[in-house]
Structure 1
Amino acid sequence: MKTLKKQIGLLGVFAICTGAMISSGLFVLPGIAAAQAGPAVIVAYLLSGLLLIPSMLSMAEMSTALPRAGGDYFFVSRSLGGMFGTIDGVGVWLALLMKTSIALLGLGAYLAVYVHLPMQVIAILAGLVFMLTNMVGAKETMRLQIAMVAGLLAILVFLVVKGAPVVEREYFTPFASEGWGSVLPTTALVFISYIGLTKVASMAEEVKNPGRNIPLGMFISLIVILGLYGTVVAVVVGIIPAEQLYKTLTPLSDAAGIAIGPVGMHLISFAAVLAFATTANAGIMSASRYLLAMSRDRVIPHAFSRFCKYKTPLNAILLTTVVILLIVSMTGLERIAKMASTFQLLVFAFVNIAVIVMRESGIKSYDPGFKSPFYPYIQIVGILVSVVLIPEMGLLSSIFAMGLVAIGVVWHNLYVRPRAEPRVGAVAKMAERLGERLLERDADAMGLRTELRQIMKERGLRSGDPFFQMVQEADFIEVGPEADSEEVIRRGADLLARQSGISRDLIFGALLERNRLGETPADAGVALPHLLLNDVEGFHMVAVRSIHGLDFPLAKQTIHAVFLLLGNRGNPTQHLRFLAEIARRAENLHFIDNWIAADSIDDLADLLLSNEE
C-alpha cells in the first residue's frame, strides 16, 4: 500500500488546527450568539473550547497510535468495526464539504465588495486555486497555510490591542442579561468554532514525528485560539452597543470601524478573507484524506486511493473539490453548517468510545506515542459532552445527523459488504477478553494486528529505546548446512539463557512450540523467533547467519538471517518496536545479500546497525 510522504512538522500541525478553527465562528457568530446570551457570550466561547478538550485528547492518542490518512474514520473502523467506520467516513466527509463550502462563500462575500464579481463566482475560483495547491503536495500547501494563519493572527491581535483601550465597561452590565440558562444553548451554537481543531488527525500519515507533533500542535493551537476568542469577543462586546451587536453579521468589522476607523474595517475584511481561505484550504486537504482512507478499505472505489506524480491523492482531491463547488452554487447554507457540527459531535463520541475499546482490547501492538491522561474518565466526559450538546443544536440538526447515519448504513450494506473484507475491529478483542464469544475470528484474522505492526514499523524507534545497546550486546553465530530451524532455536536458547539467567529449557521449549505452530514471523529471508517472559530483565538477542539457508514453517523463502529476541512481558510494546525495527532494516533489498557476503561474524552487528532503508 502506498503511503503519503511525511512533510508536515509542528508548525504545519499548528497551522492546520488554527486555520480550520478561525472562520465563521469568529467573523459571523459573535453577534448572533450575543443576542442569545448577552455579554455572557464570552463564557460560552470559552466553555465550548474547554468542552472539546476530552475529544482532543482522545483524537491525539488515536492519531499517534494509528497515523493514517482518514483520521477518525480510520480510528473508528479499526476499533468499532466496518459498519461504524462507513457511517463515520461518509458522514464526516459530507460534513466537511458543507463547512468548506460555507468558508468559500464567506470568502466570496467579503471579496465581492472589492472585485465586483458575484459571490459564487469568487468562491468557485478560490476553490479551484486551493484544489491546485493541494494537488502539488502537502509541503506546498503547508507553506500557504502557515503564511495565511500568521497574517490572520497578526491582524486579530492588532484589533485587540487597538480595541481594548476604547472598551466601555457598562456594556458588560448585566453580564448574563438573558439569564445563565442561555449560556449552554449558546455554547452549543458556537461549538462549531472549535471543531476544526481535530481535523489534523485526517493527515496524521503525513505528519513527521506524530507522537510529539500532533498532540503538541493541537494543544498549542487550542490555547492560542481560546485566548484569541476570549479577548476578541470581549473587545467586540465592549465596543459595539448591544442593539447594534445583536443584529450584525459582521461584528469584527463593525468593531474595527469604531476602534480604528475605515482602515480597520478594510484590515478586518482582509483578515476575514484569510480566515475563510485557511478553513477552505484545510477543509479540502482533510476531506480528500477521508476518501483516500475509505478507498484503501474498499468502502468506495479503489480509484480514489491513486496518487499523482506529486504523491498526493489526485482523484480524491478532484471529487472533493467538484462536490464542494456544486454546493457553493447553492445559497442558504448557514443552517447546514450547524447540522454538520451536530454529526461531528456524534463522531467525537465515537472516537472517545474507540479509545476505550482499544485500551481494553489487550492488543499489544496498540502503542500510541501519546496517551490521554485520566483514562477512562476523560473519555466518559467527552461522550457526555456530545450527549448534552447534540439536543441543544435543535431537532432539525439531530434529524440531519441521523440521516447521515442512515446513508452510511445503506451504503455499507449495498456497496461495501459485497466487496470488502469484513472488519470487526478491536471491539471483538475486547469482547473476547470479557468472555463474550461475540465473533468467531479475532483481531488477527481481521488484519488489525498486522496493520498496527506495519504502522509501528513505519514509525520506528522511540527516543530512549535501547535497541542499539541490545544489538551491541547480542551474540552473533553462524550455523552450517547441516543445521535446521530446531537446531538454530536450541543454540539460540542456550545463549539467551546465559545472557538473561532464565532457564534454557523454558526458553527453548517456548520458542520451539511457537515455531512448530507457525507463529515465528519469517519472510524475505529473515526469521524472528521471539518470546516474552515475566522474570527477564531488559532485552536480549541472538543473531544467526546461515549461508546455505534454513526452512521455517510458513516461510515462502529460504531463511538466511535469524534474530531470536527475549524480552520482559511487562513491556510488550517496546519488544514489538524492536521486532519492527529489525524487520524494517532487513527489508532493504540488499540486506540479505550483504548478510551472506559479510567476511566474518564480527561484521554482522555493524551491518545490522548501519543498514537503513
Structure 2
Amino acid sequence: MAKKSRLNKELGLFDVFAISTGAMFSSGFFLLPGLASQYTGPSVFLAYLVSGVLILPAMFSIAEISTALPRSGGAYFFLDRSLGPLLGTIGGLGTYFALMFKTAFAIIGIGAYASFFWEVPVKTIAIMGTLFFMVLNLFGAKKTSGLQNFFVSFLLVVLGTFIIDGLYNIFFTDRIDVPKANEHFRPFFTNGFEGMIITAGFVFVSYLGLTQIASVAEEIKKPERNIPLGMLLSLAVTGLVYFLGVFVMVAVIEPSEFGNDLAPAATAVKKIFNWMPGDLGAYLMTGAAMAAFASTGNAGLLSSSRYPFAMGRDKLFPENFSKVGKKGTPVQAILLTTSFILLFILVLSEEGIAKLASTFQLLIFMFINFSVIVFRNSKIESYDPGYHSPLYPYMQVAGIIISLVLIAYMGWMSILFTAAIVLVGVLWYKYYARFRVQREGAIFHWFALLGKYQYAELENEFLSIIKEKGLRQGDPFDETITRARITFNEKETDFPQLLNYVSGIFSAEMHVKKEELIKEFLTVSAIEPALVIPEVSILFAKKEGIDHPSLHIVLSEKGIGKSVEKNGISSEDYIRVFFFLVNPSKEPRQQLRMLSRLIDIIERDNFINEILGMKSQRKIKEYLLHNERYITIQLLPGTVQAEMIDKQLKEIKFPSEVLVALVERESATFAPNGNTRLLENDILTVIGEPKSISQLYNRFMNV
C-alpha cells in the first residue's frame, strides 16, 4: 500500500476501550430507558442485559476479522473482501450514513442538554461542536482519542458514583423518598416475552458503538491483542453500567412518570444526589450527559470518516478521499463527513432516524457473521486472525438468526429504509464502481473448492496485511535466522542442480524424502506472485514430522537462471539470492508471517548489493535480524566485555530473555552451548527482547 494512503498506528488498549465505550454512553443511558420501559415495564434494565448478550456474536465476528484484516473501513472492508465489492458498496454506504446520523444526533444532544440550564440555541452549539471535533480529527487519531479518554473517564466517575450512591440508598438507607420502591417492579414483565424481545431490539442501538472499533483498526497498535480485549472490556463495563444504572432509575422514579421521561438520569439524580447543595447534582449529571454525547459525536466522526477513505482507496469512491495529510489523517474524508453531519444537523429533527439506522446495522451484523463463515471456508492461508471467535460456526449462525428476529420487530418503516439504502448502494456500484473495480471476495475462493472461479489477488492483499502486522509473539524468525545455513555459490550451477543440492541437505537434516521436498518447492501457490522480486527467489515447503522451521540461503554473484511468473506472464531471471524455507505443516500461517518478514527485509533499499557484499555469515545473519532485537559484542582485552574471556557461557550472567545465538571465531561462525568457552576476539551475536538488549548495550557498549 502506498505510504500516502497509510494511516499512523497511534491507538493503544485504553484508546480502543474509550472509543468503543464513549460511542455507547449517550442516548442509551440518558434518553432511551424511560421510552424503552413502555414495551416491557420495570424489567427494562434486564432488557439492556439481554441486548448486550445478543450483540456478542457480532462482536466476536468483528474482533476475529479485525485482527486478520486491520484496515480502515470496518464493515465495508470486511464485506468487500468476503462477499465482493457489490455488498461492500452497500455495506459501506449504509454504515457510513448510519454512523453519521447517529453522530449528528449525538452532537445535537450536547446543545439540547446545554439548553436545560442556559439560554443557548441548540443547533448553533451542535454546529460549533462538530467543527471542534473536525479540527481534532484533522490533527490525528491520537489527539482525538486523548479527548475521548477524558470524556470516558469523567463519564465513568460520575456514573459510577450515581450507581454506588443509588444502590446504597435503595438497599441500606431511608434517605431517598421512595418508601415503596419494591412496588416499582410489579408487574415485572408488562408484555411478557414479546415485550422483552421488542425492548432488547429497541435498546440494541445502545451497543452499536462497540463495533466502531473495526473502522479504526488500521490505526491500532498491537491489533491482535488490543481489539478483542478492548471490545470485551468495553462491553463488560457498558453492560454493567446500563444494567445497574437503569435498575436505579426504575427503583427511584415513579412508573407513571418513567415511561414518558426523556431525561430519566437527570430525574433520578435529583432524588439520589439530594445531599448536594442546590442543583449541583443535576448540573453534574448534565455535564456527564454532555460528555457522553460529545464522546459519541467525537468517536462517530473519527470512525465514520474512515469509510470514504477506505472506499476511495479501493476505487469505490473517488481516489482523492484516500489521500492522507501531513498529520497522517484522511483530510478530504474528514471534511466530507463533517459536511454531511452539518447538513443533517440543520435539516433533520426526528430522533426516530436512530431506529432506522440501527435496523441497517442489524443487516450488516448478519452479513459480518456470514463473512466469518466465508473466510474460514475459503481456505485462504493468508487469512490469519490473531483472535478466533469461540463456538464457530454456531456463534455466527446464532448471530444471523438474532439479526433477522430483531429486524422483524423493528417495523415496516425501518425495513423500507434499509431497502432504500440497499437500492442506492446497488445503483452506485452499477453506474460508478463496477467499471473501476476488478476484484472479487473470499466467497469465490469457497466456490473454487467446487471448481468455480476465484480471485487470486485476494491472497496477495491479505499477505501484504500480514507483512504490515509483523511477526506474532512466539514466531521463531530470529532463531531460524541464527540457525540458517548459508552457501556462497561461486561455480557454474543451474537451478535444478541447486534445488537438488539444497533439498538433499534438508533431507539429511530432517529425515524426509528429497523428492517430496523438491516437489513442494516447485509447487505454485496462490501467494507466489507476491514473492516475485527481481534477482531474489523465495521457495518454501511444508513437511510433517519436523518441529521447527529451517532456512537455507544461497548467494550467487553471477546469478542462476530461473523461470518466474507474475500476473500470468512468464520470464527468465538471473537469481542472485535464494531463500529456501521449510516449515512444519501444522503451522501454515506462521510460515506466511515468516515469509512476509523476509519480503519486508528484501524490500530494503540496496538489499542485493549489501547482502552480496558481506562475506561473513555473522554479518549476513545480523543484517536479517531485527535491529532492536540483537547486539554484537566483541571480546577485546582492556574493555568491559573482557570479563567474559576464558569463561564458559553458563558462567556469565546475562539479562533475562536473551540468548547468545552465534559466535564468530577466526572467520568461522557457530552456535554455542552452555559449555562453550569464550576466547579473546570472539564476536558474540546476542538476540532477545528489546528491553534486555538495551540493558546489554548500556552495560557493554555505552561506556
Q: How far does residue 410 in structure 1 lie from its aligned partner after superposition?
A: 0.7
- Relative to structure 1, the CA distance from residue 55 to residue 513 in structure 2 (aligned partners, 3 Å threshold; closer, same or farther) is closer
Provide the C-alpha distance between the structure 2 equivalents of 1:404 and 1:513, rounded to a whole number of angstroms: 45
**2:438 matched to 1:428?**
no
- 1:358 equivalent in structure 2: 375
Instruction: Output one character per residue of 1:373-410: Cα deviation in whole Å (capped at 9) or x when no partner.
Output: 11000000000110100011111011101111111111
Please give the secondary structure, in 2, of the residue aligned with 1:477: strand
Residue 6 (structure 1) aligns with: 9
AA at the equivalent of 1:124: I
Query: Secondary structure, in 3 states, of the residue corresponding to 1:194?
Result: helix
Rate the CA distance shift 1:287–1:343 in 2: closer, same or farther, 3 A: same
Equivalence for 2:486: 476
**Residue in structure 2 matched with residue 59 of structure 1 by the alignment:** 62
Structure with greater proportional strand content: 2
Could you list the per-position Cα deviations for residues 236-289 of structure 1 after superposition, in whole angstroms to 9, with x for gaps in the alignment? 000111111111100000101111142111111000100000100111111111
Residue 117 of structure 1 is matched in structure 2 by 120
1:384 partner letter: I
Residues 518-527 or 228-237, more deviating: 518-527
**Aligned counterpart for 1:249 among listed residues 259, 262, 267:** 262
CA contact (8 A) 1:585 1:612 kept: no
* Shift of residue 113, structure 1, vs aligned partner: 3.5
Aligned-residue offset at 1:182: 1.0
Q: Distance in 1 between the 2:217 and 2:142 partners?
A: 14
Counterpart of 2:209, as a letter, is G
The aligned counterpart of 2:134 is 131
Distance in 1 (CA, whole Å) between partners of 2:76 and 2:351 is 25
- Evaluate the alpha carbon distance shift between residue 363 and residue 331 of structure 1 in structure 2; reply closer, same or farther with a 3 A threshold: closer
The CA deviation string for residues 315-362 of structure 1, in whole angstroms up to 9 with x for no partner, is 000000000000001242311111000000000001000000000011
Check the 8 A contact 2:520/2:540 in 1, yes or no: no
Deviates more, 1:594-603 or 1:352-361: 594-603
> Identity of paired residues, percent?
40
- Tell whether 2:314 aligns with 1:294: no
Aligned residue in 2 for 1:443: 455
Q: CA deviation at 1:234?
A: 0.3
**Offset of residue 478 of structure 1:** 0.9
Counterpart AA for 1:267: L
The answer as to whether partners of 1:166 and 1:239 remain within 8 angstroms in 2 is no
With 179-188 and 575-584 compared, the bigger mean Cα shift is at: 179-188
Aligned counterparts of 1:460 and 1:199: Cα–Cα separation in 2: 24
Match of 2:563 among 553, 565, 570: 553
- Alpha-carbon contact 2:82-2:442 (below 8 Å) kept: yes
Contact 1:82/1:424 (8 A) holds in 2: yes
Equivalent-residue separation in structure 2 for 1:117 and 1:554 (angstroms): 70
Matched residue of 1:552: which SS? strand
Q: Which residue of 1 aligns with 2:333?
A: 316
* Stretch moving more, 293-302 or 592-601: 592-601
For residue 285 of structure 2, give the secondary structure of its aligned residue in structure 1. Answer: helix
Write out aligned runs for 1:329-408 (5 A).
Answer: 329-408=346-425
**Could you say which residue in structure 1 is the equivalent of 2:247?**
234
Number of matched pairs: 605
Q: Comparing both structures, which one devotes a greater share of its residues to helix?
A: 1
User: 2-side partners of 1:509 and 1:331: how far apart?
Assistant: 65
Q: In the alignment, does 2:203 pair up with 1:197?
A: no
State the alpha-carbon separation in 2 of the partners of residues 72 and 30 from structure 1: 28
Cα 1:361–1:577 change in 2 (3 A) is same
Choose between structure 1 and 2 for higher RCO, CA contacts under 8 A separated by at least 6 residues: 1
Q: Which residue of 1 aligns with 2:636?
A: none
Q: Does 1:543 align with 2:556?
A: no
Distance 2:144 2:528 in 1: 47
Give a deviation string over 1:76-112, Cα, whole Å, max 9, x none: 1101111110110010001011000110111111123
Aligned to 2:609: 593
* 1:279 matched to 2:296: yes
* Greater alpha carbon shift after TM alignment, 537-546 vs 298-307: 537-546
Structure 1 residue 190, shift from structure 2 partner: 0.5
1:514·1:520 contact (CA, 8 Å) conserved in 2?
Answer: no
3-state SS of paired residue (1:364): coil
> In the alignment, which residue of structure 1 is the partner of 2:664?
none
- Flag structure 1 segments of 5+ consecutive residues without an equivalent: none
State the match for 1:606 in structure 2.
Answer: 622
Partner of 2:162: 159
Q: Partner letter of residue 213 of structure 2?
A: V
Question: CA 1:483–1:522 in structure 2 vs 1: closer, same or farther (change >3 Å)?
Answer: farther
CA positional deviation for 1:524? 4.6
Q: 1:519 to 1:304 in 2, by over 3 A?
A: closer
Change (3 A) 1:407 1:612: farther
Matched-pair contact (CA < 8 Å) for 2:130–2:338 = yes
Q: Match for residue 175 of structure 1? A: 188
Q: Distance in 2 between matches of 1:524 and 1:153?
A: 56
CA distance in 2, matches of 1:339, 1:280: 18
Secondary structure of the corresponding residue to residue 156 of structure 1? helix
Shift of 1:483: 2.9
Which of the residues 79, 83, 92 maps onto 2:82?
A: 79
Distance 1:513 1:268 in 2: 66
**Residue 211 of structure 1 pairs with residue 224 of structure 2:** yes
1:496 corresponds in structure 2 to 506
CA distance in 2: counterparts of 1:10 and 1:510, whole angstroms: 41
The residue type paired with residue 417 of structure 2 is: F
The 3-state SS of whatever aligns with 1:130 is helix
Runs of 4+ aligned structure 1 residues displaced above 6 Å come to 517-520
Moved more, 457-466 or 583-592: 583-592
Select between 601-610 and 37-46 the one with higher mean Cα deviation. 601-610
**Which deviates more from structure 2 when the two are superposed, residues 155-164 or residues 542-551?**
542-551
**Please, which of 252, 261, 273 is the counterpart of residue 260 of structure 1?**
273
Q: What whole-Å deviation, never above 9, does each CA across 1:445-485 have from its counterpart, x for those lacking one?
A: xx210111001111111111112222222211111262343
Residue 577 of structure 1 corresponds to 593
Distance 1:468 1:268 in 2: 54
**One-letter code aligned to 2:537:** A
RMSD: 1.9
Shift of 1:558: 5.1
Distance 1:156 1:574, change over 3 A: same
How many Å separate the matches in 2 of 1:331 and 1:265? 28
**Is the 8 Å Cα contact of residues 460 and 529 (structure 2) preserved in structure 1?**
no
144-153 vs 552-561, greater mean Cα deviation:
552-561
Tell me which residue corresponds to 1:456.
466
Contact 1:499 1:540 in 2 (8 A): no
| Distance in 2, Cα, partners of 1:552 & 1:62 | 38
Q: Give the superposition deviation at 1:574.
A: 0.9
SS at match of 2:420: helix
Specify the SS of the correspondent of 1:545.
strand
- Counterpart selection for 2:343 from 326, 333, 343: 326
Q: CA deviation at 1:115?
A: 4.6
Counterparts of 1:236 and 1:310, CA distance in 2: 44
Matched residue of 2:135: which SS?
A: helix
Higher mean C-alpha deviation, range 116-125 or range 485-494: 485-494
1:97 aligns with 2:95: no
Deviates most, 176-185 or 51-60: 176-185
Cα pair 1:46 1:226 within 8 Å, conserved: yes
